[in-house]
């Protein structure tokens, strides 16, 4: 009886983890899709030029923290902040 209960609990935990993982993936996709990366980069370049900021602002930990708080997908591996260090220089 106890073995069966442990199996059911383990099975329930696996199902719950899958559901949470799927929900997180969906949330991340929605957040990622909500950012127009071309417009985001254009605004970043305008901000750098208009306020005489160094283009290396995209490497500042404080800038990453601000972006992460705003939308954590901005600082993911394929997010616009990770791509923008060289993109800012190219623009």
In a shared domain, residues 39 and 75: yes
Structural domain that includes position 67? 35-91
User: Which residues 6+ apart lie within 8 Å of 35 measured at CB?
Assistant: 71, 73, 74, 80
- pLDDT (tens, 9 = 90+) of the chain, 91 residues, equals 667 677 777 777 777 777 777 878 888 788 778 888 888 888 888 999 999 999 888 888 898 888 888 888 888 777 777 655 555 555 5
| The dihedral formed by the CA atoms of 11, 17, 22 and 28, expressed in degrees to the nearest 10 | 180
| The dihedral formed by the CA atoms of 33, 73, 70 and 62, expressed in degrees to the nearest 10 | -150
In a shared domain, residues 80 and 59: yes
In a shared domain, residues 77 and 54: yes
- 75-84, pLDDT tens digit by residue? 877 777 765 5
At residue 17, the pLDDT reads: 78
In a shared domain, residues 46 and 84: yes
In a shared domain, residues 43 and 87: yes
Overall number of domains in the chain: 2
């Amino acid at each position: 009886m106890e073995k069966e209960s442990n199996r059911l609990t383990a099975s329930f935990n696996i199902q719950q983890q899958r559901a949470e993982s799927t929900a997180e993936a969906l949330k991340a996709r929605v957040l990622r899709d909500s950012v127009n990366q071309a417009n985001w980069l254009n605004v970043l370049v305008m901000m750098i030029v208009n306020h005489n900021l160094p283009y290396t602002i995209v490497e500042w930990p404080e800038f990453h923290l601000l972006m992460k708080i705003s939308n954590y997908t901005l600082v993911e591996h394929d997010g616009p902040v990770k791509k923008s260090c060289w993109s800012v220089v190219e623009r």
